[in-house]
Chain A
Amino acid sequence: MIILEDVHYSYDGVYTALRGISLQVDDGERFAVIGANGAGKTTMVKHMNGLLRPQKGRVILDGRDTKFMSVAEIARKVGLVFQNPDHQLFLDSVKKEVEFGLRNIGFTESEAAQRRQKTLASLGLEGFAERSPFTLSGGERKRVALASVLSTEPRFLALDEPTIGQDAHQKNQLAQMLAEMNKRGRTVVVVTHDIEFVIENFPRTIAMADGQIIADGSTNMVLSNDEVIERCSLAPPQMTLAARALRNVFPEVGQRLTLLSELEETIMGILGGA
């Protein structure tokens, strides 16, 4: 369990990037963090794995204040995947790349090799073990970077804007993989601007603005709130727009339509009855 208690953080002492974040992340959860650029999402996620330490308030990981833990120590429990895979790949084979992180946090050579094999297999990267990461495509490099974090089997996995620049197929792949991780008991946190991705994959959503959490609850509830959508610089999803337009004529259409299948059933209802 990760608990953030009234966390404050400022990069330059003047402008405050986080202004009192309180949040509880339970084991096995899956949630999304949304918010406009500069809202403080990255800053908050970096607090979860100790890259940043609160200037006021506390971050508690499994009952221990992270103040007394090193990043390497936290990294065993909390994995953080950044947006640009090129920021971490530096070795000349995928195999070495994945084992590097494992060796860093103290696994023996044979343990590391074992875990590496397992992780590459689970991400469909077996064939790439001997390839140089630099000869791979962007999408493949992203998966290698992910593998290097996943191989340590962190109980908490946070991904900062993994959907940016991804095509529909890559997004589906990512969603499937996260769902699988989650099913196996891992906690998954994803920062994203992709509202459809959130609706389809996450039961809980946290909305941030100006360094504060402005909404935290079920995705359905958070994203039905127009003010939240507005303050997070999001566009209302097509489904919501369709539902609203329908509601004008068919009052029986519900207030909180978000899923595609729900809309489908509603329209079936309208047209079937007509």
Chain B
Amino acid sequence: MALIEFADFSFKYLGADSLALKRIKLTIDNGEYVVITGPSGCGKTTFCRAINALVPQFHRGYVAGNVYTDGKNTREYEVATFASVAGLVFQNPENQLVTLDVEKEIAFGPENLGVAPSEIRRRVEELIELLDLEELREKHPHEMSGGEQQRVAIAATLALKPKVLVADEPTSNLDPQSAEAILEIIAHLNKRGMAVVLVEHRLDLVAKDASRIILMDKGRIVADGDPREVLAMDLCEEIGVGVPKATQVYKRLKTRGIELGNVPLTGVELAELVQEATSR
């Protein structure tokens, strides 16, 4: 059984004139690192919401097809059922911190689900250690930077022990250094075995870690596959995806008749490929 399965799923928000998702069909398995990208308004957020039943349970509208998360149909179970399967992290960290201290924030989810206090305490300490939150223990959310807030939000989500972390543009409100720190944490979590679905525009920072990139446009999936394959497509430029600069150079060279052999995703990879090409 796939961890997440979209079976011809379509969705239109109440009052909207067009479908936000159109016949989405795909599966995501344990351990994958899926990056979703595409122009704004293409349905990425709606896709994330559909994974844990926020669509169609919290955001109502027209639905066709089904989504099965951990084998359960999201049309039949309430959002909370999926809390310990899919952990969602959203764009604006400030709107995800609902208490005044880090420990309480991490405890919030498990408390809601009625986990035993001693177990909650254990998870809190474990996550504070894992996400390096020790020095934030005494801080009010207001005194934290955006990056720190987002780290706490991730910890609060992980406290429910989800099988997949679904992060919807978690770094888009952050400065580059905090963004990189968050993306490093996400890559680290994936290496420890957690499946990741990440919506991100800055492909130069994430393409190298992803096992798969999904390109969306106007509610549809227009490409889905290995990062190097997807980013090498001309489609990316057509719909306006931020292809990493190194990959862009590769593509330009290719049109001028120079084939580097492999598609680079980072500057260093590009340099290595050039070096290999000269020694051939």
A–B contact, 8 Å CB criterion (strictly below):
yes
Q: How far is the CA of A147 from the CA of B133 in the complex (A)?
A: 42
Interface string of B246-276 (1 = CB under 8 A from A): 1011001100101000000011101110110
* CB closest chain-A residue, reference B241: A168
Q: Is B224 part of the binding interface, using a Cβ–Cβ cutoff of 8 Å?
A: no
Are A165 and B172 neighbours in the complex by a CB distance under 8 Å? yes
Instruction: Give the residue name and chain of the A residue nearest to B40 (CB).
Output: A167
- Give the docked Cα–Cα distance between A37 and B204 (Å): 22
Is B146 on the interface with A (CB-CB < 8 A)? yes
Q: Are A238 and B175 interface neighbours, CB within 8 A?
A: no
Per the bound structure, the CA–CA distance linking A240 and B175 in Å amounts to 19
Per-position 1/0 for A129-159, Cβ under 8 A of B? 0000000011100000000000000000000
**In contact, B268 and A242 (Cβ under 8 angstroms):** yes
B139 to chain A, nearest CB (A): 16
Contact B245 A234 (CB under 8 A): no
Asked if A108 is at the interface (CB within 8 A of a chain B CB), the reply is: no
Interface size range of chain A in the complex = 35 or more
Q: How far is the CA of A119 from the CA of B219 in the complex (A)?
A: 31
CB contact between B145 and one of A37, A167, A170, A237 (< 8 Å): that residue = A37
- Cβ-defined contact, B245 with A193, below 8 A: no
CB of A167 to closest CB in B, whole Å: 5
CB of B61 closer than 8 Å to a CB of A: no
Min CB–CB distance A263 → chain B (angstroms): 6
Output the least CB separation between B208 and chain A (Å). 11
Closest A residue to B203 by beta carbon equals A168
Contact check, A137 vs B40: say whether CB atoms are below 8 A apart. Answer: yes
- B91 contacts partner chain A, Cβ-Cβ < 8 Å: yes
User: Could you tell me if B176 and A267 are in contact, using CB atoms closer than 8 angstroms?
Assistant: no
Docked-complex contact A271 and B278, CB < 8 angstroms: yes
Bound state CA distance, A268 and B252, in angstroms? 10
Closest partner residue, chain B, to A199 (CB atom): B245
A-contact bits for B215-250, CB 8 A (1 contact / 0 none): 000000000000000000000000111111110110
Report the separation of the CA atoms of residues A103 and B248 in the bound assembly, to the nearest whole angstrom: 46
Q: What's the nearest-Cβ distance from chain B to residue A174, in Å? A: 12
Check if A246 sits within 8 Å of B172, measured CB to CB: no
In the complex, residue of chain B having the shortest beta-carbon distance to the beta carbon of A195: B176
Q: Does B5 contact A (CB under 8 A)?
A: no
Whether the pair A166, B40 counts as a contact (CB closer than 8 A) is: yes
Question: A196 and B172: CB pair below 8 A?
Answer: no
Interface flag for B151 (CB, 8 Å): no
Asked if B266 contacts A238 (CB within 8 A), the reply is yes
Contact status A196-B245, CB under 8 Å: yes
Contacting residue for A260 out of B172, B239, B245, CB 8 A: B245
Contact indicator A238/B242 (Cβ below 8 Å) = no
Q: Within the complex, what minimum Cβ distance (angstroms) separates A242 from chain B?
A: 3
A229-258: contact bitstring with B at CB < 8 Å (1 yes, 0 no)? 000011101111111111011000000000
Q: Which residue of A lies closest to B16 (CB)?
A: A135
- Are A233's CB and B176's CB within 8 A? yes
Q: Does A121 contact B (CB under 8 A)?
A: no
Report if A88 contacts B (CB, 8 A): no
Contact with B along A178-215 (1 / 0, CB 8 A): 00000000000000010110000000000000000000
Q: Given known contacts A167-B240, A172-B240, is B176 in contact with A193 (CB within 8 Å)?
A: yes
**CB < 8 Å neighbour of B274 from A164, A244, A260, A267:** A267
When the two chains form the complex, which single residue of B169, B180, B258 contacts A165, counting CB atoms closer than 8 Å?
A: B169
- Determine if B268 and A233 form an interchain contact, defined as CB atoms under 8 angstroms apart: no
CB distance from B144 to the nearest CB of A (A): 12
Residues in chain A near residue B270, CB distance under 8 A: 242, 245
Which residues on A sit within 8 Å (CB–CB) of B248? Answer: 260
B176 touches A169 (CB 8 A): no
Taking the closest CB of chain B, its distance from the CB of A35, in whole angstroms, is 9
**A249-B275 CB under 8 A given contacts A242-B270, A268-B256:** yes
Q: Is B177 an interface residue (CB 8 A)?
A: yes
Q: Which residues of A contact B39 (CB under 8 A)?
A: 167-170
Q: Is B212 an interface residue (CB 8 A)?
A: no
Pair A270/B278 contact, Cβ less than 8 Å? yes
Cβ 8 A contact of A233, one of B177, B239, B244, B271: B177
Ordered nearest first, which 10 A-B pairs have the shortest CB separation?
A: A169-B240, A242-B267, A245-B271, A241-B267, A168-B242, A238-B267, A233-B177, A165-B172, A238-B245, A274-B278
List 6 A–B pairs whose Cβ atoms lie within 8 Å, in order of A's numbering.
Answer: A139-B40, A166-B40, A172-B240, A233-B177, A242-B249, A245-B272
Binding site for A on B (CB under 8 A): 38-41, 91, 145-146, 169, 172-173, 175-178, 180, 201, 204-205, 239-246, 248-249, 252-253, 256, 258, 266-268, 270-272, 274-275, 277-278
Known: A235-B176, A238-B267, A246-B271. 12 other contacts (CB 8 A): A37-B146, A139-B41, A167-B40, A167-B241, A237-B267, A239-B267, A242-B267, A242-B271, A264-B249, A268-B253, A271-B277, A271-B278
